[in-house]
Amino acid sequence: MYPKIIVPVDGSEISYKALDTALFFSEKLGSNITAIHVMEDIPVTNIESQKLLNDMLEISAVCKRQGENILSKCSESARNRDLNVNTVLLKGNPASIILDFCKNGKYDLIIMGNRGIGKVKEIILGSVSSKILHNSTCPILLIK
Ligand SMILES: Nc1ncnc2c1ncn2[C@@H]1O[C@H](COP(=O)(O)OP(=O)(O)OP(=O)(O)O)[C@@H](O)[C@H]1O
Ligand SMILES: [Mg+2]
């Protein structure tokens, strides 16, 4: 059951908790786990100010480093339990990228947080989890 599980990770505590749950599934069911992080696109076209353009490119590089760090933490968590996790770093609209990746890779289960790094603490579902919940054809386990 659930041979291929995907875990979208944004660096929030809940998303790491989702990874822990996936690792538990891996331990018990032998599921193959893929952790995915999506860097948001920064629009760098049509900017006339060279300084602004440089700043944006710098932000883009920082986001890439951050994404790589998030995924290394996932690998480390798996290693600490003698398990394995595949890591994928992509760029674009997080929900759309995750939905496409999940469909193309024929994943059986998505395990993700109900919230993420967003600042509005009152809402129960973030925009990424909400869009995935509405559009995914595969089952989803939402971690709180
Ligand atoms: N960029 C991302 N890459 C991978 N997974 C993500 C990304 N953003 C969110 N997720 C996943 O979606 C879950 C819910 O995050 P979401 O972004 O929907 O909530 P939020 O950050 O609290 O709200 P919002 O982003 O709408 O302000 C996270 O716990 C994580 O599993
Ligand atoms: Mg978010």
Hey, what's the torsion of the CAs at 119, 125, 127, 128, to 10 degrees? 110
- Residue stretches of the chain with pLDDT short of 50: none
Residue type, 24: F
Mark the residues whose beta carbon lies below 5 A from ion ligand 2: 116, 118, 126
User: Residues lining ligand 1, CB < 6 A?
Assistant: 8-10, 12, 14-15, 18, 36-38, 94, 112-113, 115-118, 126-129
Could you tell me the domains of the chain? 4-143 (3.40.50.620)
Residue 16: the pLDDT is: 98
Alpha-carbon separation of residue 89 from 1, 6, 68, 124, 126 (angstroms): 26, 13, 7, 26, 21
Residue 70: the pLDDT is: 98
Specify the pTM.
0.95
